[in-house]
Amino acid sequence: MVTGFGPFQGFDENPSQVGVERLSGLGLQGLETRTLTVSNEAADAEVREIFRDPPDLLLLCGVAGNREWVSVERVAINVDDFRIPDVAGEQVEDMPVVEGGPVAYLSTLPIKDLVGDLKEVGLDGRISNTAGTYLCNHVMYLALHLAAEAGGGTRVGFLHVPPDPEIAVKAIEVSARMLLKR
Ligand code: PCA
């Protein structure tokens, strides 16, 4: 499964949603897509909903407004500390994503291979060691937590795309195709 995020402050159209919708249009076998809401409460419920019937693999995608490159995230931390309010107007500060959860989780996707495949098609793919402390980190942490609790059957990772929709579309397609092959 591949997810993007919907609109939020600064992005009336979220390039991660554009990328995931384009990917969905390709009709790749075995692929499911979803769009998550940029809201603490809604996104949390949406990720929990996904894990009612856990996919083999979950690639979560979002936009990083201040990065021109494609970030393959390595780590999610147990911190919600929103710089801006979410779409429901909630601005969580210094709270855990999961009360009592471990400090952090590492991506369970082959992150170096993903970076390699992105570079192969001419994209500036890089490993990132922080997904921030907003919704993207939140859903990555929660998904890794739920996957771990369920016994580790779902591999989970996060891709932060740059604001340029063309790059976002290409990065999401290349990553999804690579992961479907594994
Ligand atoms: N980017 C935000 C949240 C939604 C999105 O696309 C983030 O980086 O946390």
For 146, the domain range is 2-181
Over residues 157-167, the pLDDT tens digits come to 999 999 999 99
pLDDT, averaged across the chain = 97
Over residues 97-118, the pLDDT tens digits come to 999 999 999 999 999 999 999 9
Strands 57-63 and 2-5, how do they pair? parallel
- Quote the pLDDT of residue 182: 75
The answer to pTM > 0.85 is yes
Residue in 3, 21, 38 to alter for ligand 1 test, most ligand atoms within 8 A of Cβ: 38
- CATH code of the domain covering residue 53: 3.40.630.20
The total of structural domains in the chain comes to: 1
Residue in 44, 135, 137 to alter for ligand 1 test, most ligand atoms within 8 A of Cβ: 135
Which residues have C-beta within 8 Å of that of residue 119, sequence separation ≥ 6? 125
Over residues 118-151, the pLDDT tens digits come to 999 999 999 999 999 999 999 999 999 999 999 9
